Structure 1
């Protein structure tokens, strides 16, 4: 799998990344998690994205692939849920990052995101200041933000972040059209999360209480008419969307990860398909934003 520049950060990433949430809380045993992580690197996937709040994900990455650390760009998240510290305060940043470094068994995390922090906590710049200090110490390389909608727009407008992670898929294009162009123009690295729209097309009836169930409603309204496997269509759309550097896929299956890699290796969607997606989106998506 080829790699390309991650914005102007100096990092190089593959267009497909591994979202390691399910590695930590997807019901996997430790050996199975190790197989998925190792298989990702064997496929040439060079971006692994995790977070301290993804169960055992960071520990498993450290245990199973820290000896291959030079083969991948490591992305994690911070800012909340650290015992003894208030969420979204400067004092939570350093202990969160240092705990992640220990679990991941590395001296430096390449990309560290503020994780879905709302705009009002960004205003005084103190959270970014703490991340900048850790960057100067060599504990992180890229100060980043993960989120959607108005909070994402505020993060990009602040000019304090060199990378963003945001929702981009065939049923969720608000950030792609509203904020990603500005981020790309400023040289930010851009990671697309939820590129498969939670696979909602697989359900004949609307799932009840399943995460991302509103994508099912949207896909019915969008009614895409494409002569492609839906998973391949969705992933190629996200991975090669304008400005996107890498799309992260979560899975517990080495076979599904291989299928995702094959889909991305097929390259961008044909122009006619892209035009069809744009036409359907503009026809029915008024008022739609991303939901976190």
Structure 2
């Protein structure tokens, strides 16, 4: 598979990566086979997180004897230095490796970003770990456009991860060119818009138009890898008809769905994890279903105490009817919990 340079890291990475969330869903044996199959197809970038359940553990087992073939990205979400240091040590142990190629700060919003750069924070831990050789490069992920723009401009980070697909395409006009100008690696999360886009050919062909962007789709089956690799290694020029199909799908889906940007938080007086509850159906299709109810029960209980103040709706950049979407999320959860 064709490889490209991941910004100033100078790492040569495959044209697409492999996301770690769906690796929790198959059996461990099948997940390990899936990872090894991806490596055999030339995919050498694997992207995961300390917070993706069994993902790190399964990746670690799959990479035995093949660690030098892989550019490994993992991350953690807590900004205080002590917890971050503990998470890094756990990631190294679970992944069964002496170093991580890119260690990222996960899902950083406005408030978290400010805390991240304070003395003694997780960022200081990352810089020290870099000196010690435990990590090679530092990255950041966010769903918030303004936070990501600020992070890129700061040049504190070697690699960024941001939502990007032909529906969530806000990054195309400014973030991607800015990252390229500053020689910062740009990886794209949610290439299939969190499962809302189903046509792999259109999804991947669109993303391949951006030479410096590395999508990291999640795979659950070998057939999915085969399909995407075939598209990436083929002719991915979009025809007039395909561009028309994309336009129709964009109009049909529109912007009226929660995109996890987090602008609605943390102002909620009930401390509801609003994006998480709204997107419960999406999460159900991505994460292991066995522990789904137990993992989300606490957040749903808080959502049921919503006082409908609608502060969240006033902050939503997509003008969503957040209260109604919360009710739909709760309804979906209750229907699953009863099974």
**TM-score, normalised via structure 1 length:** 0.79
Please tell me whether residue 191 in structure 1 is matched to residue 160 in structure 2. no
Q: What is the aligned residue count?
A: 254
For residues 1-292 of structure 1, the aligned pairs below 5 Å read 1-24=1-24, 26=25, 28-80=26-78, 88-123=79-114, 125-126=117-118, 127-148=122-143, 149-202=145-198, 230-244=199-213, 246-270=214-238, 290-292=259-261
Answer whether contact 1:233 1:269 (CA < 8 A) is retained. no
Q: From the superposition, tell whether residues 274 and 291 of structure 1 become closer, same or farther in structure 2 (CA, over 3 Å).
A: farther
> Cα deviations across residues 164-223 of structure 1 (Å, max 9, x unaligned)?
011111111112333222112100111111112244355xxxxxxxxxxxxxxxxxxxxx
Task: Report how far residue 267 of structure 1 moved.
Answer: 4.5
> Cα deviations across residues 12-37 of structure 1 (Å, max 9, x unaligned)?
1011111011112x2x1111101100
Q: Secondary structure at the match of 2:10?
A: coil
Q: Secondary structure at the match of 2:72?
A: strand
Mark the runs of 5 or more structure 1 residues left unpaired by the alignment: 81-87, 203-229
Distance 1:267 1:8 in 2: 28
Distance 1:111 1:273 in 2: 39
Answer whether contact 1:66 1:106 (CA < 8 A) is retained. no
Task: Report how far residue 91 of structure 1 moved.
Answer: 2.1
RMSD between aligned residues? 2.6
Q: Secondary structure at the match of 1:92?
A: helix
Which region of structure 1 is more displaced relative to structure 2, 58-67 or 119-128?
A: 119-128
Distance 2:38 2:184 in 1: 25
Task: Report how far residue 131 of structure 1 moved.
Answer: 1.1
Answer whether contact 1:18 1:45 (CA < 8 A) is retained. yes
Q: Secondary structure at the match of 1:241?
A: coil
Q: Secondary structure at the match of 1:16?
A: coil
Q: Secondary structure at the match of 1:66?
A: coil
Answer whether contact 1:15 1:240 (CA < 8 A) is retained. no
> Cα deviations across residues 90-134 of structure 1 (Å, max 9, x unaligned)?
222211111100000001100111001223333362332221111
**TM-score, normalised via structure 2 length:** 0.68
Answer whether contact 2:32 2:58 (CA < 8 A) is retained. yes
Choose 1 or 2 for highest CA Rg: 2
